[in-house]
Amino acid sequence: MRTLRVELGERSYPIRIGSGLLSRADLLAPHLEQRRVAIVTNETVAPLYLAQVRSVAAARQPLEVILPDGEQYKTLEVVARIFDALLQARCDRRTMILALGGGVIGDMAGFAAACYQRGVPFIQIPTTLLAQVDSSVGGKTGVNHPLGKNMIGAFYQPQAVIIDTDTLRTLPDRELKAGIAEVIKYGLIRDAEFFVWLEKNLPRLLARDSEALSYAIEHSCRNKAEVVAKDERESGLRAVLNFGHTFGHAIETATEYRSWLHGEAIAAGMAMAADLSRRLGWLAEDEASRIRSLIKMAQLPDRAPPGIDNEQLRTLMEMDKKVESGRLRLVLLKRIGEAVVTADYPSPVLDQTIAAHVRIQ
Amino acid sequence: MRTLRVELGERSYPIRIGSGLLSRADLLAPHLEQRRVAIVTNETVAPLYLAQVRSVAAARQPLEVILPDGEQYKTLEVVARIFDALLQARCDRRTMILALGGGVIGDMAGFAAACYQRGVPFIQIPTTLLAQVDSSVGGKTGVNHPLGKNMIGAFYQPQAVIIDTDTLRTLPDRELKAGIAEVIKYGLIRDAEFFVWLEKNLPRLLARDSEALSYAIEHSCRNKAEVVAKDERESGLRAVLNFGHTFGHAIETATEYRSWLHGEAIAAGMAMAADLSRRLGWLAEDEASRIRSLIKMAQLPDRAPPGIDNEQLRTLMEMDKKVESGRLRLVLLKRIGEAVVTADYPSPVLDQTIAAHVRIQ
């Protein structure tokens, strides 16, 4: 088992990574003493992993809250169902919430923990690669609103994160690859050595080699944890984590979040951000081409999906939150392993990048 | 104008108290720079004070969110209306929420601020005495659930509290007295000198003398702020603020929150807690009788309302959150100005106190 610690003062917590951790009572038990336990999960994950978690927490007769599966259920109304269940079971402040599932479950159960009786502790048990390397670190919790994603929520840190790499065995191929997009991101923005490791070991990740997955998850979480430790509430530095995301979000919005998974849109977004960095003369040609190769090796898209044109993509990017006094700020690369947040690039070069990555002009 | 500071490290904030503060642009303006402004208020307060606050914030073209008035609207559904309004007006993270109203508005607008885009700043502008001396200090925000009061919420501190004593001119008499109950509480639990001041000056408060009100509000807020500074998230010490509340909540529940205002129930509860302290031999006879006299001078009830019997009150008290391993913990007095939290009293003495304060046996 690998352990790393997210350093946030009195809100610090450990991340445990390894095979078979869901059955390790010794990891959960110390957190559950003298507490009611409520496991929040969804209809897809429950049949696969609820029994294991339930049996580890058996002595505490856990309450089980099983929600529908899907981003469309990440709403305040569904979080209210968690409150209903906790109150019906008369859970008091000495309750520990276990979030068992992907990013949607982690975001909603974490937000419910932040608000229930003004805050009860919770533990993240992420079961998708994306949740393991992204949403389980950083304390962002919340729900969507019809007028925007993640518009309602809280910064709220878990007591611990338990990542059992065995849960990735049941993850659909496409979701595994989408998670790998975020893994590649950490190499690009701040860890050149990890990027080189990925160039060599990507086939092992695609083959779900447990040891390789543990290594990749640990290095991803460590990179994210270091950034978050310096900027818990996203005042500035944390913006580098949005590498590829301004392009990616525009793609997601254009396709109404239907045709591509988040990680797929981010992969295309990273290819575009790298291309823009190259056109600006910041990123060397060979590094830009290594980035594109790695994205392709992961069987991820390196350009926008069919049906989006220049104009639409550019407009949607400019509606992004990161526009500041009229200039669109982007995360770009100086080299593999070094990102900068900047609005200091000629607008026509951005247009060239967009033109080179859409399929209709 | 009186100013005091709630000391909570990087979450410290000032409380301004005085006459005419709602029209003081210099108090609000520094907080509003480079921000969208959203004023959250209710249908009762809006016709009285919204125009003043609007004109102070006029340069920022404030959004106005006017909610229905009443504790029954303190729900997640009504907070969702605040989110809807903020999103429809495209308010981003650089938004300042102004909570203009009583405790219900402060709790809901504060909770909305805590959750909107994971946290935007807010300012409390409380317009009832109860909100001015109680809910505006301490950072408790949130809403009720059909299964319990204040079950969903957050600890979230405002940027500032602005208390204009002129707003008390329009406060119904009964609500003014209910607020005075909480004012008396601070004297009882930790400020004997303030209690003596109240014995002399209570008539001035009832006559709404602006200077006396400012003095009483300042001393109440200062006492609460000192307690909160030592225990921001209510882990122990803060429990003394619940003096009279275990008795009072039982009365509120028995009467379904309909016949008495919160402060009225708390007044009766304080009389009961003082009586129990006296029966235990902790509180001197003359101090117990001074307490009862002050409660009566404020025209507040000093026993339970008609229709509640011994049995019912005792049962409801034991359903209170503060039961710990079977023993009901109460806040009791050693003397005027010194409270203790204890479960160490003989149960029959509590029964005697209850019997002496209900109207049917």
SS3 per residue for B258-275:
CCCCHHHHHHHHHHHHHH
Helix and strand numbers, DSSP H then E, in chain A: 13, 13
- B267 pLDDT band, cuts 50/70/90, is very high
Backbone angles phi, psi at B11, to 5 degrees: -100, 15
Chain B residues with CB inside 8 Å of A153's CB? 115, 117-118
* pTM reported for the whole predicted model: 0.93
Structure tokens at B298: 């404020």
Name the minimum distance, in Å, from the CA of B275 to any CA of chain A. 30
Question: Which DSSP state fits B128?
Answer: S
Interchain CB contact of B115 with A (< 8 Å): yes
Interchain CB contact of B94 with A (< 8 Å): no
B232 flagged as catalytic: no
- Under a CB-based contact definition with an 8 Å cutoff, are residues B95 and B35 in contact? yes
Residues in chain B: 361
Backbone angles phi, psi at A294, to 5 degrees: -65, -40
Q: How many CB atoms lie within 10 A of CB A120?
A: 21
Average pLDDT over residues B38-57: 96
B312 CB burial (10 A radius; 0-12, 13-18, 19+): middle
Query: How confident is the prediction along chain A (361 residues), in pLDDT tens digits per residue?
Result: 999 999 999 999 999 999 999 999 999 988 998 899 999 999 999 999 999 999 999 888 999 999 999 999 999 999 999 999 999 999 999 999 999 999 999 999 999 999 999 999 999 999 999 999 998 889 999 999 988 889 999 999 999 999 999 999 999 999 999 999 999 999 999 999 999 999 999 999 999 999 999 999 999 999 999 999 888 877 778 899 999 999 999 999 888 878 899 999 999 999 999 999 999 999 999 999 999 999 999 999 999 999 899 999 998 898 766 555 567 899 999 999 999 999 999 999 999 999 999 987 6
Name residue A221's beta-bridge partners: none
pLDDT above 70 covers a percentage of chain B that reads 98
For the complex shown, is ipTM > 0.95?
no
Select from A338, A313, A308 the least CA-distant residue to A328.
A313
Say whether pLDDT at B102 is over 80. yes
Collapsing DSSP states into helix, strand and coil, what is residue A101? strand
Say whether pLDDT at B63 is over 90. yes
State pLDDT tens for residues B237-257.
889 999 999 999 999 988 887
One of A35, A190, A219, A245 is an active-site residue; which one? A245
CATH 3.40.50.1970 domain span(s) along chain B: 2-169
Question: Which DSSP state fits A5?
Answer: E
Mark residue A47 as left, alpha or beta (left: phi above 0; alpha: psi -120 to 50; beta: remaining): alpha
Interatomic CA distance for residues B151 and A51, integer angstroms: 29
Per CATH, is B173-357 categorized as 2.60.40.420?
no
Interchain CB contact of B117 with A (< 8 Å): yes
Query: What is the rounded (10 degree) CA torsion for B217, B219, B220, B225?
Result: 120
Per CATH, is B2-169 categorized as 3.40.50.1970?
yes
Select from B137, B191, B130 the least CA-distant residue to B161.
B137
- Under a CB-based contact definition with an 8 Å cutoff, are residues B283 and B334 in contact? yes
What residue in A sits closest to B87 (Cα-Cα)? A147
| Non-local CB neighbours of B5 within 8 Å, separated by 6+ positions | B12, B13, B14, B15, B225
Say whether pLDDT at B209 is over 80. yes
- Residue of A87, A118, A234 lying closest to B154 (CB–CB): A118
Q: How many CB atoms lie within 10 A of CB B34?
A: 7
- Quick one: how far is CA B298 from the chain centroid? 17
- Under a CB-based contact definition with an 8 Å cutoff, are residues A71 and A257 in contact? yes
User: What single letter denotes the amino acid at residue B214?
Assistant: S
Instruction: Give the strand pairing for A330-335 and A338-342.
Output: antiparallel
- B233 pLDDT band, cuts 50/70/90, is confident
Interatomic CA distance for residues B277 and A108, integer angstroms: 46
CATH 1.20.1090.10 domain span(s) along chain B: 173-357
Instruction: Give the strand pairing for B140-145 and A330-335.
Output: unpaired
What is the pLDDT at residue A323? 58
Task: State whether A154 and B154 contact (CB < 8 Å).
Answer: yes
Structure tokens at A232: 């818990």
- Under a CB-based contact definition with an 8 Å cutoff, are residues A111 and A153 in contact? yes
The owner of tokens 């998850």 is A217
